[in-house]
Every structure is written in C-alpha cells, then in structure tokens.
Amino acid sequence: MTAVDARPQGQVESGLLFPAGFRWGTATAAYQIEGAAAEDGRTPSIWDVFSRRPGKVRNGDTGDIAADHYHRMREDVALMRELGVSDYRFSVSWSRVQPTGRGPAVQRGLDFYRRLTDELREAGIRPVATLYHWDLPQELEAAGGWPHRETAERFAEYAGLVAGALGDRVATWTTLNEPWCAAFLGYGSGVHAPGRTEPAAALRAAHHFNLGHGLAVRALRAALPGAAEVSLTLNLHAIRPLSGSAADLDAARRIDALGNRVFLDPVFHGRLPEDLVADTAGLTDWSFVRDGDLAVASEPIDSLGINYYSPTVVGAGTSESPSPWPGAEDRVRFVPAPGPRTAMDWTVDADGLYELLTRLRDELPEVPLVITENGAAYDDYADPSGAVHDPERVAYLHAHLAAVHRALADGVDVRGYFLWSLLDNFEWAYGYGKRFGIVHVDFATQRRTPKDSARWYAEVVARGGLAGPPEG
C-alpha cells in the first residue's frame, strides 16, 4: 500500500485537514444491497435461508430485492461520483460467482462485477473488493460450513477465481469482513446466519476463518499483479473494564482474547493466544489446529481494515445464553457504556476508535491501517419536501473523523476512511428497520435521496478534512 504522510497538514477555521493521499470512501455489502437473489445463476446463500426462518429477521424481511443495486448499479455509482469519493468498498457474492462453492465460476455473475468495476474506474473511483461479507453458499453450509476445514480450502479456490477475473480492474483486495461476527454470531449465539448455537463450532469456525484468510492470501498473490494490495478487515473491540478490580480486569482479558486476539495473534504472530486456549479448554482441545495452519494464517498482508461503531464495557458476572462468547458466559457481563445512543442502541463514543488505533500502533507498528467501516443508524425519514435531515449522523461522523485525525497526529499510520454506508440497506437480523445510509432508500419505490450527511461528507471529501463543528 502506498504510504501517505502521517503528519496532519494543518488546521483551517478550527477544522482539521487530513494527509495528502488519504483515501476517502464509502462501503456496502452484496447481500445487503444487490437483490436479484435468483438471477443469472445465483443460488441461495446462508442469509437467503436464514432470513426465511420464522422469527430470525424482523418483519420476515429478506435480501431478495434489498436496494436493487444489481439493476441500479450505474445510478449508485453516479451518486458516488457526486460525493467525490476516491474509493468504493463493495463485496462479491460468493453464490453469485460460484453457486455451489465448488467448481468453475459463473461468468454471468462475474460480468456484474466487471461492469461495476469498469463503471467505477470510468467515474474515477478506485474499486476495493471484499471477497467474503458473510454470504456463504448454502451448499457449503450443508456440508458443514465454516466449522468444517474444507470450507477454508473452498474459499481460497473462490478467491483465485475472482482475482483471475477482476485482477486487471481491482487493486485492493480484502479477504474477509468481520470474521468475528460470522463465527461467533453465526455459530455461537445464532443471531446471524446460519443460526447455529454451538460454542465449540464457533471456535472451530474462527480458526478456519484464519486458515481460509491465509489460503486466500496465497491464492490472491498467485493470481494478482505484484502491485496489488491484500488486506483483512476485523471488527476489533475497544474493551474497557467496568472497574480496576481483579475480576473486572479478568473479564476484559477474556473478551479481548475472544474478540480481538483470536484473530490478531494467528494473523500477525502465527500463534494462538495461550489464555484463550486455557479459557475454552472445557469446550475444545483445539486439536483441529493442524501443524502448519498458523504459518498459513500469518501470510503477510499489506494493511489491516478496522470496523468500529461503539466501545465494549465488561465486568465480572454472567451473560445470557446462547452467547457469542464461548467459555465466558459464566464469567463476564456486558454493561452499556454511558452516552448518547444510536437507533441500534449503541453508545456514541469516538474515543473508543482512538483507543483501538493507538493500541494497534503500539502492537503492530509496521502494519498500515484503514477504517473500512464507521457510521451510525438513526430513524431517518423524508420530510414533506422530500429532504432527509440527519444531524445526529453528521455529529457522529464528525466526532469519529476527529478521532482519526487525533490518531494520525499521534503517529498512527491510517491510510483511509470508508463511511458505512452508502445506501440504506438490509441490516441483517434487523431487516429494513435500521438505516445506516447517507443516501435514503425508499424500499417501495427504490428512490434514492441523499441525506444531509451525504452533502456534508461530500464537503469533507472535497476539503480533505473537517472545516469546523457539525451543524445541529
């Protein structure tokens, strides 16, 4: 990844400029926006199946149509051009490209991503591809899913197919998005697809995500030009103990092992956290980790993507079961952090982002960082004039960009910021009830309306930084 000067360029009118070369982007995910769930050879993913299970997704919503991006892609790229963003992070639907998770690619599926990336390049926008944003082909789940080792091997094959088709168009590749959610919400608590509540399987899945990432890095390096950038995106937890007591500090340690080091240690140090293995000994002996796996997981990458929304406060106690924290249910309780809250009931606290960035500066000083998701859901609506006013989101984004700038000033090598999300979309188990977009989508008509936050972000991008306090 090309370095940018990590020293902020200066201040203007009480505002903050970011370094020259800083990447300003926005992000989406395939299942959340594409729709066209059964077109051009696409077969069901685990989210197609999970969303049809009664009670799993609010209002019985599915991603069958979503924001209809599959048919409105050019309109959406035009919106990005108007925003002036330099980069767009999208994900590829595995079941659109390789419907069974095995065998040759479906060219009609790849053609959509060829058209998308060509349209982006024509608009002067740099495509950033994520290979996995939670939509495993259902056929692979039926064969065992991510707790099964073969899924990691199949993922590497899929990575090579996509890189072979798009390697001349896409310069930056992310293997996985938020494997913590996919492993521990999908196989631990069951609130995400595939909806399994098997603590030991969640731990196996986490390992196979690490293995699949490393195998995919090798496949990408083999298929891509030498200058291509390869990355991984993690939703690392900014963990705070409720107090300085030994029990609360131990709770924070446990969650740090399960939420952060379960991925950081294998990927960057080629090892498993010893305390994690000890904490989960009652669930598994970790014998599914074979000789050589950790060396594969630690294949060098060019940057680390960070997704951040809210901090995590923990203390000694117990949690509800089924839990996404295997082995910690009887030792840890989660406490709402103080402060204003979003429509997701997540605390607004930009200091947590600063804490994560400075931690990574200290622990991984040679690894460039990119904020690959940051944003907030609010109860947005179009007023009688058709306008969508979202001052809370503007304030949220302003505070978090200020935290990124503060981190840059303190020596953190942050190369870019991708706002989540471009469009209102299918928000997983919340269906269409939570709106993260800076562009409002009327799902009945598919009409797109840029919110006030979109105009604000366009000004930030054009200026290359923050000009002053947010309005409202």
Q: Active-site positions?
A: 178, 373
Count how many Cα atoms sit within 13 Å of the Cα of residue 393 in the half-sphere of its side chain. Answer: 30
Question: What is the amino acid identity at position 74?
Answer: R
Residue 22: closest CA among 46, 5, 43, 41: 5
Q: Using only the alpha carbons of the chain, give its radius of gyration.
A: 21
**Phi (first) and psi of residue 282, to 5 degrees:** -75, -10
Q: Is 219 helix (H, G, I), strand (E, B) or coil?
A: helix
Establish whether the linkage from the previous residue to 421 is cis, with ω within 30° of 0.
Answer: yes
Residue 29: closest CA among 147, 156, 181: 181
First to last CA, the chain: 37
* Dihedral of the alpha carbons of 181, 127, 208, 135, in degrees to the nearest 10: 60
Q: How far apart are CA 2 and CA 409, in angstroms?
A: 19
* Dihedral of the alpha carbons of 317, 320, 326, 330, in degrees to the nearest 10: 30
Answer yes or no: are the C-beta atoms of 388 and 381 closer than 8 Å: yes
- Strands (E) across 338-406 are located at 369-373
444 contact partners, CB below 8 Å, separation of at least 6: none
Structure tokens at 231: 């990355």
117 contact partners, CB below 8 Å, separation of at least 6: 127, 129, 166, 169, 170
Count how many Cα atoms sit within 13 Å of the Cα of residue 54 in the half-sphere of its side chain. Answer: 0
**Phi (first) and psi of residue 205, to 5 degrees:** -60, -45
Mark 250-279 as b/e (b = at least 16 C-beta within 10 Å): bbbbbbbbbbbbbbbbbbbeeebbeebeeb
Structure tokens at 274: 């010893």
Length of the chain counted residue by residue: 472
CB count, 10 Å around CB of 62? 20
Residue 214: closest CA among 302, 148, 152, 145: 152
Answer yes or no: are the C-beta atoms of 76 and 43 closer than 8 Å: no
Question: Please, what is the Cα angle at 152 between 150 and 155, to 5 degrees?
Answer: 110
Structure tokens at 418: 């991708």
